[in-house]
Every structure is written in C-alpha cells, then in structure tokens.
Amino acid sequence: MTHVFHRAPGHQYPKAVKGDGVYIEDAEGRRYLDAGGAAVSCLGHSNQSVNDAIKQQVDRISFAHSGFFTNEPMEELADFLIERAPGRLDKVYFVSGGSEAVEAALKLARQYFIEKGQTKRTRFISRRQSYHGNTLGALAAGGNEWRREPYAPLLMPVSLIAPCYAYRGKNSGESDFDFGQRVANELEAEILNLGPETVCAFICEPVVGATLGAVPSVEGYFKRIREICDQYGVLLILDEVMCGMGRTGTLFAHEQEEITADIMVTAKGLGAGYQPIGAMLVSDEVFDAVLNGSGFFQHGHTYLGHPVACAASLAVQRYVEDNQLLQNVMKRGEEIQTELRRLMGQHPNVGDIRGRGLFIGMEFVSDRETKTAFDPAKKLNKKIKAAAMAEGLMCYPMGGTIDGQKGDHLLLAPPFIIEEKHVDEITTKLEKAILNALGSI
C-alpha cells in the first residue's frame, strides 16, 4: 500500500534504489539499461563529478531567493550557455523544468510586444502533434490531442499548422525540399488569416520528441520558417526541452538548421536529472525591450536560479564538453540506427526508423505499404514498454502518433556515455521486446 499519488495509481512500480552508469537497479536487484527515460539522463547515473559539485554547493549555500540575490553557479552557468549559444541569444532565465520554461517564453513574448506598444499581438501558432509541456499555457501551445482533450475548455486559443512529418505528410513525387517549403508556408497562411498585427510567436520543436517520435525537419524547412517570422515581425520560439543540450549531436539542436531563435527553451539534458532545472534563453533584442521599457519581467517562481540546481547543471555541461561526449552522441547514434535497420528495417510492422544523434524513433504500422496504423485498442505501445522492461531495457513508447488516437512509436534516448557494448544490448533487447509485443496482439 502506498500513499504516493503515482501517475498511474493502479500500476505497481518497481522501486529504483541505485544508479550505476547507464543502468538503474531496483529493490529486487534487477538492472535496467536506461535508454529512454524521457531524454533526461544524458550522463547516466551517479556521475562522481556532478555528485561532488552538488555536495560542495550545499555546503556553501543551498538556497537564496532570486528576488534578493544572484548566486555564483547561476552566473557561471549563464555565461557557459551564452558563450556557446548561436545567434543573438544573450540572456538566460533559469526555472525548474521544461513546462515552466515554456510558460515563461509565452509570457515574455506577450510582454515583449506590450513593451513595443503592439498590444494587439496576443495569438500564438504551433504545430499539430507537438508537445510543449503540461501546464495550462504550455499545453495550449502544443498539439498533443490526447493530453489536451480533458482540459480543452481551459486552454487559450492557439492555431495549429502541419508538422514537418515527411513520413506521412510528403506527397507522391514531391521532393523533401518542396514538401518542407509547402508545410512551412502554412505558417504564413495562418499569420495572414489571423492578421499579422495579432500574432506574437510561432513555437515548435527543432526535432519533434514525445508526440511524433524523434522527427527531424527536412532541409530548408526552418530557414523558410525564419524568413516568414522575420517578414511579419513574429517571434520564433524554439522548444529544445527534449532535443537540446547535445541530444541530437550539437549542444543546441537548431544549430543544425543554421538559424537562430528569438527565444529558446531547454531542460531535461541541461541538468541530466541530477537536479530539476530548465532555462529560457533570450535574444538581446527581446531582453532590451524589457530592460528599456518597464524594466521588469512580470513573471516568476520561487526556485528561479536555484544554486544547487545550477551547480549540478554546470558540472553536467562541463563534463559533456571536457569528455567530448557530443562526438560519441553522433557515433553511437549512427550505430544504433544502422543496427536497428539491419535487425528490423524490413520487418512488416516497422514503418520508419528516424532521428538525429542519440534521439531515435521507430514508428509501427500494421501494413508497411499503406502505412496503416494498428488499432489503438491493441495498445501496442504499452505492450512494447512492458516487454522492454521485462528484458531490462527502458525505452519511451507512445501512442497517438498520427492524430492523438491512432499510431504507435517509441523513442530511444540513451545516455551520451554509452559504449559499443551498450549499442548491442539496446538493439538486441529492443528487438526481442518488439517481437514479443507484436506477437501478443
């Protein structure tokens, strides 16, 4: 009997008692390779340098409210990120997670236009099958229909355009580039439909995570998106909560698109799970509008810039850089995709294998030729998760890939420290889990 209100109250969860590199151990002594813990544990578990940084910071000071003080690890972490950030990103606002970061970004976008006297700009545009968090503002800004449905009456209106989802969205005979331009131009059409003077921002994920399953854009898509935003004075908010901080092989995922953001949000891999932390990075133009206007961002939380969280995050990012782990992300990611294609690329129920770096997705279909999804009642994604756990592998299966109801996919997001032997273990166990799950429906 537990007094904890778990995510699924009727489910019996194993009790995690120990972290050891890429593995989590439960109270029964079973070990699970953490290849899909929501793209958080990029350094695995029990990294000594990060543990030491946390202990040292607690010994100095564990908390000082940001309304009264700044603190050293917060300042140093901000310097670290901005020195490496692309474009005109120049300031960092630290929060406790991804949803908080998105809420801050939405509010800042609105306040930016108030500061500039463009008070009619109240509307946001996002993409279908996106996910930006579970607080009301972040949920409204996303296109995850399953998560939105119970709370729809409470959500602000947000326009949703097509995702850059080539596997299902590209027309016969259409090139990748032409497809990308076509769906990007939906943004311009919606801005004109709403009235350019009413639109605050467009928010999207550079590589779509939980809702679509590691879907990168096609070449040229984001350059066109940036052009449209610039043309109509609309802010571009990039959500790198899941795909950022090295997960796709570069510290910032949108570096690979050769564009820059007006506002960027990140979390998960920022602190690698050692402490709860998220961040909003802001361009100098957006920051200066507040600084030279009201002089106050009308938003805040108690744990902004928490010293222990920032110290842990700084230790994580220094370890990643000092050990050149982003090179390993690219190498191991290519190895996993190559091996998955060898093992399952021609399986009649594997429709697509995709991703960047150590952010890899697989989409499942009942028919490869027609790309027909499985009946949602079969709950394939849940069966894959259970089968993988039985094999000692954590992955991230989800349903509703296509429209919030139909479609099954899984995400792999293992730690950046994985070795060749772990690639073999991940792919071997995953193949067995998938085959067992498919055999049960």
Q: Supply the pLDDT for residue 318.
A: 98
Please say if the pLDDT value at position 343 is more than 90: yes
Sign of torsion, CA 158 200 303 130? positive
**pTM exceeds cut of 0.95:** yes
Q: For the chain, what is the mean pLDDT?
A: 97
State yes or no: pLDDT of 162 exceeds 90. Answer: yes
Give tens-digit pLDDT for 129-143. 999 999 999 999 999
Q: Is pLDDT of 127 > 90?
A: yes
Taking residues 359-375, report their average pLDDT: 98
What is residue 1's predicted lDDT score, i.e. its pLDDT? 80
> Tens digit of pLDDT for each residue in 51-90?
999 999 999 999 999 999 999 999 999 999 999 999 999 9
Band the pLDDT of 408: cuts 50, 70, 90.
very high
- Report the phi/psi class of residue 268: left, alpha or beta, with left for phi > 0 and alpha for psi in -120 to 50: left
Cα separation of the two ends of the chain: 32
The answer on pLDDT for 319 being more than 90 is yes
Residues 6+ apart with CB under 8 A from 265: 98, 101, 102, 104, 105, 237, 238, 239, 240, 241, 278, 279, 280, 281
pLDDT per residue over 250-275, tens digit each? 999 999 999 999 999 999 999 999 99
Q: Reply yes or no on whether the pLDDT at 37 is more than 90.
A: no
Per-residue buried b or exposed e for 92-130, using 16+ beta carbons within 10 Å of the residue's own CB:
bbbbbbbbbbbbbbbebbbbbbbbeeeeebbbbbbbbbb
